[in-house]
Amino acid sequence: MFGTPEELFDFMQDFEYKDFDTLMSAIDVYLNKSGSCHDQTLFEYSCLCDMKLRPHARFLIAVDKDNIGGETHSFVYWIANGHAYWFENAWEDYKGIHEFNSVPELIDAVVDAFTERNPRKYIYISNLIPADHTIGEDLETFVDICMNDAVLAM
């Protein structure tokens, strides 16, 4: 469908962000041109897989001192030519394809930006494995699954 990440990014320019209600399929995100960051990430992941880029997806959550979860975010990246690339569409302030020298540098940049949005919160990061999720699952289920391998990011 898309030959390059740049073509995918161009296609997604008129996508609308929508609050998460239940997890959408990549097809629904494509057809509706909207989705939460989690929905858009799974769509991007699928498209980048089709491009044979072997993407990775991650999940972030801000947790307060009472261990109550707050804001969440998902994002996708891939490694090519000795660099790591963060593909972001849903987070308006960071929309674009961002190049880094390494995966740790990329992760640090995303975590730092998320921490700025969530001061005085503990930030956890985990892998987001699309195969672990079911289309239509609610946010609590989505978060619980992602938290299975979460670690404190900072």
Query: Whole-prediction pTM value?
Result: 0.95
Q: Where do the domains of the chain lie, and which CATH numbers do they carry?
A: 5-152 (3.10.620)
56-63, strands of its sheet edge to edge: 96-100, 83-88, 69-80, 56-63, 122-127, 151-152
Specify the 3-state DSSP secondary structure of 88.
strand
* Residue 9 confidence (pLDDT): 98
Successive 10-residue mean pLDDT values, the chain, 154 residues: 95 97 97 98 98 98 96 98 97 98 98 97 98 98 97 88
128: burial class by Cβ within 10 Å (0-12, 13-18, 19+)? buried
* Residue 70 confidence (pLDDT): 96
